[in-house]
C-alpha cells in the first residue's frame, strides 16, 4: 500500500469477491491504504448487505457490489450503504470510520451518507437496456464495467478484451448513461497508453492500471525468460 501511495495512485481496489478475506486481515489492508493516503475501494460479495456496512465501518472509502442487473439491485446496494431514513445501515461509530467513537454522531452520519463512493458492477448484457434507469438511482456514484463476465453473458467465454469492439460499444453506452446522470465509470485498462487514451476519450473517469498479481507475474515472466535465454541454459 505504501508503494501505491508513493506511485501517486488515487485509489486502489481491494477484492473480497474472488478472495476470502472476511476476517481481520481485510481491516489491516484498508488501514494500510488509509495510512498511505490511497483511497481503499472494497469489492464485496453481492446479496449480503451486512458486508457493505462492515466494509464502510473498517474505513473503506468506496464499495463495489458485483453483477447488478436491475434498478432494484442498485437501490438495494444504496439502501445498505446509507443510514435511515435513506437506508438500513445500522449505527456503529466504535469503528475505524467513526474514529472509535470520537466523531460527533450526527456529523458522522451525514459524512457517511455523503462521502464514501457507492458503486456497482455492470457485467451482463441484459443491463444494457436499463442503463439510464440504473445511473438515475440517487446514491449511486459509479459503476465498474466487467469485460470478462460481460463476455460470458454474450456466450463467448472470457476471451473479449478491452480492444474488442463489442466491449468498446458496451462501455461507450455505459459512459453515455453515466455522463447524463453525472456519475462515473471505472474500467481496468492495464498500462498501454493508447488503450488508456481511447477509453478516456470514450468517457471512463476511474481507471485501474492493472493489479498486483498480474504486474508481479509479468515481471517475473520477463525475468525468467531473460535468464532462460542466457548461453548454456536449456
pLDDT-derived band at 187, boundaries 50, 70, 90? very high
Residue 234 maps to a domain: no
For position 20, what pLDDT does the model report? 67
Stronger pLDDT, 175 or 231, i.e. the higher one? 175
Residue 190 contacts by C-beta under 8 Å, 6 or more apart in sequence?
162, 209, 210
**What one-character-per-residue DSSP string does 124-187 give?**
-GGGGGGHHHHHTSTT--EEEE-HHHHHHHTTSTT---TTSHHHHHHHHHHHHHHHHHT-EEEE
Instruction: For residue 130, give its domain range.
Output: 2-228
Task: Please give the average per-residue pLDDT across 12-38, as a whole number.
Answer: 85
Residue 65 maps to a domain: yes
- Residue 6 scores a pLDDT above 90: no
Residue 233 maps to a domain: no
Residue 204 maps to a domain: yes
For position 162, what pLDDT does the model report? 87
- Residue 21 scores a pLDDT above 80: no
Mean pLDDT of the chain: 90
Residue 203 maps to a domain: yes
Which of 70-74, 79-83, 142-146, 215-219 has the weakest average pLDDT?
215-219
Task: Residue 81: give its domain's CATH number.
Answer: 3.20.20.60
- State the Cα–Cα distance between residues 151 and 153, nearest whole angstrom: 5
The number of folded domains in the chain is 1
- State the Cα–Cα distance between residues 56 and 85, nearest whole angstrom: 18
- Residue 170 scores a pLDDT above 90: yes
Q: Are 53 and 97 in contact (CB under 8 A)?
A: no
217, three cell numbers: 507475474
Cα–Cα–Cα angle for 63, 200, 125, nearest 5°? 60
Stronger pLDDT, 79 or 158, i.e. the higher one? 79
Residue 110 maps to a domain: yes
* 48: number of Cβ within 10 Å: 13
For position 160, what pLDDT does the model report? 82
**What does the buried/exposed string (b/e) look like for 106-135 if buried means 16 or more CB atoms within 10 Å of the residue's CB?**
eebbeebbeebbbbbbbbbeebeebbeebb
pLDDT in tens, 214-232: 778 888 888 888 888 888 7
- Residue 192 scores a pLDDT above 90: no
- Residue 186 scores a pLDDT above 90: yes
SS3 232: coil
For position 234, what pLDDT does the model report? 60
pLDDT in tens, 111-169: 999 999 999 999 999 999 999 999 999 999 999 999 999 999 999 887 788 889 999 99
Amino acid at each position: 500500500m505504501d508503494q501505491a501511495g508513493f506511485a501517486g495512485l488515487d485509489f486502489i481496489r481491494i477484492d473480497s469477491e474472488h478472495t476470502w478475506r472476511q476476517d481481520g486481515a481485510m481491516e489491516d489492508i484498508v488501514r494500510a491504504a488509509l495510512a498511505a493516503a490511497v483511497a481503499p475501494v472494497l469489492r464485496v460479495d453481492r446479496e449480503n448487505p451486512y458486508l457493505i456496512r462492515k466494509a464502510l465501518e473498517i474505513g473503506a472509502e468506496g464499495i463495489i457490489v458485483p453483477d447488478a442487473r436491475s434498478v432494484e439491485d442498485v437501490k438495494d446496494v444504496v439502501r445498505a450503504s446509507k443510514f435511515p431514513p435513506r437506508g438500513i445501515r445500522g449505527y456503529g461509530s466504535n469503528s475505524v470510520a467513526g474514529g472509535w467513537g470520537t466523531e460527533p454522531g450526527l456529523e458522522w452520519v451525514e459524512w457517511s451518507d455523503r462521502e464514501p463512493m457507492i458503486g456497482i458492477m455492470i457485467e451482463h448484457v441484459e443491463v444494457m437496456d436499463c442503463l439510464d434507469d440504473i445511473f438515475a438511482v440517487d446514491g449511486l456514484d459509479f459503476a465498474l464495467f466487467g469485460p470478462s463476465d460481460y463476455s460470458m453473458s454474450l456466450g463467448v467465454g472470457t476471451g473479449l478484451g478491452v480492444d474488442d469492439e463489442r466491449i468498446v460499444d458496451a462501455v461507450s453506452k455505459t459512459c453515455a448513461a453515466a455522463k447524463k446522470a453525472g456519475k462515473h465509470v471505472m474500467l481496468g485498462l492495464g498500462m498501454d497508453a493508447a488503450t488508456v487514451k481511447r477509453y478516456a476519450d470514450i468517457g471512463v473517469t476511474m481507471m485501474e492500471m492493472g493489479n498486483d498479481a498480474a504486474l508481479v507475474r509479468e515481471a517475473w515472466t520477463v525475468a525468467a525468460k531473460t535468464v532462460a535465454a542466457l548461453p548454456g541454459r536449456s
